Amino acid sequence: MSAPPRHVLVTGAAGFIGMHAAERLLAAGAEVTGVDDFDPYYDVALKEARLARLAGRPRFRFVRADLAEEKDAAALFGDGGFTHVLHLAAQPGVRYSLVNPQAYVRNNLVAFGHVLDGCRRACVAHLVYASSSSVYGANHTLPYSEDQNVDHPVSFYAATKKANELMAHSYSHLYRLPTTGLRYFTVYGPWGRPDMSPSLFAQAILAGTPIRVFNHGTMRRDFTYVDDIVEGTILALERPPAGDAAPYAVYNIGNHEAVELETFIAILERSLGKKAIKEYALMQPGDVPATFAAIDRLAALTGFVPRTPLAEGLARFVDWYRAYYGRPAA
């Protein structure tokens, strides 16, 4: 295996995947600069608590900056001396894109343009950025393969992630900037976002309030534990693509297992020691009934193998959730 990257910029370092990735990179001996703007899309206190886990560690420094502001991005890259960039900062969420699409234009398109140009000017050795399984839209062939057409997104969030892949390809082609997009599939685990199903369901189950089960429960997701996602991400970061036309790549990264939503809820109930009150609902606009990743290409490149069973991962999530939110077992 190649040596760990020397100086990695991790954008969204106070985010869920960003914090875990920064911890892993520091443990591997890399120098890490984290950047975040503490966008209030969800509880800023959670982001501050994540950052507190990184603050004060050797070889870590933090910069508070808004990458959608050209001057902030230019200053960051002008002063940084980064060899690699892991771009995880973004506006997440399919459903929120229905009500505030401009947040996605600003944080997913404008900011990414600034990151691309910063990497070009700084001659960064490799840019790895977060794409999403949402780009597959209404595709019905499972598992999702990188060969499938992704030109018909069903949410604006997905459209911005597909646009990121196109923007990256243009910079790889024009400027020989090595870029890799990783299509993440439903990441969960300790320190997860409060707007995602594990936290939403855990909160409701413990409070004895109903959980909303969309599409009447006939949903399947490729739930992927955060430690597995981070391992694959860093393995990809260490392997920049090469090519005569453009040093560019896109890979799925997931658990390669589509789990029924009802199964997910049952495992979470066992971990919490309490049954859910279910309120069945129609499919949300912009959502899809199933996600399922083919990960052969990333595995062939890096040896990536997801190792965490759902029951084990949810048990770790519940332990963290109880400790962080002060909800001890009954």
User: Which candidate, 96, 168, 102, 182, places its Cα nearest to that of 135?
Assistant: 182
Q: Is 136 a catalytic residue?
A: no
The amino acid that residue 157 corresponds to is Y
Whole-number Å distance between alpha carbons of 286 and 132: 14
User: Which candidate, 58, 9, 18, places its Cα nearest to that of 38?
Assistant: 18
25, two tokens: 């990179």
Whole-number Å distance between alpha carbons of 18 and 23: 9
158, two tokens: 């997905």
Q: Which helix (H) or strand (E) holds 116?
A: helix 111-122
Whole-number Å distance between alpha carbons of 62 and 39: 16
Whole-number Å distance between alpha carbons of 13 and 310: 25
Exposure string of 247-263, with b = 16+ CB inside 10 Å and e = fewer, is: bbbbbbbbbbbbbebee
Cα 116 to chain centroid distance, Å, stands at 18
Cα 127 to chain centroid distance, Å, stands at 15
Active-site option among 104, 157, 225, 248: 157
The catalytic residue positions are 157
